[in-house]
């Protein structure tokens, strides 16, 4: 009886920790696009065969949603979702796992507009 209780407790503890982690879906913004990335010397990056520039505050998330440094990336044609800022520079990149890469990406919406800079007021 004691073994059965211990086994039941262990299975319940495992299910409580493992199942919520397996159900986690990363929240990609609606304006995220899909592409194939090849790392290049920072701040440059190649997406879909075109040289692009990353913003100074850009972030790259790996398959576990952890931030990785651009210099640590290896490989080519890595399937990613990415978001651009108002100037067209890359601000966020998510490296997709096999399951996410198989999913059809939703149609990308344009990024939110940059706030207008107010005109300077003359000094009286």
Classified as helix, coil or strand, 20 is helix
What is the total count of domains within the chain? Answer: 1
**Residue 44, domain member (yes or no):** yes
Summarised one tens digit per residue, pLDDT across range 87-109 is 999 999 999 999 999 988 777 67
Helix (H) / strand (E) containing 12: helix 2-22
Tell me which residue range forms the domain holding 46: 26-102
Is the model more confident about 39 or about 104? 39
What confidence score (pLDDT) does residue 122 get? 80
78 strand-pairing partners: 37
């Amino acid at each position: 009886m004691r073994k059965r209780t211990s086994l039941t407790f262990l299975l319940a503890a495992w299910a409580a920790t493992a199942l919520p982690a397996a159900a986690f879906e990363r929240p990609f913004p609606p304006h995220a696009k899909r592409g194939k990335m090849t790392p290049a010397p920072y701040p440059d990056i190649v997406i879909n065969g075109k040289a692009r520039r990353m913003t100074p505050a850009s972030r790259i998330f790996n398959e576990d949603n952890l931030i990785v440094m651009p210099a640590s990336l290896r490989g080519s044609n890595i399937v990613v979702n990415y978001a651009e800022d108002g100037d067209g520079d890359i601000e966020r990149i998510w490296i997709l796992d096999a399951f996410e890469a198989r999913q059809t990406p939703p149609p990308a919406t344009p990024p939110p507009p940059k706030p207008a800079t107010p005109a300077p007021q003359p000094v009286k």
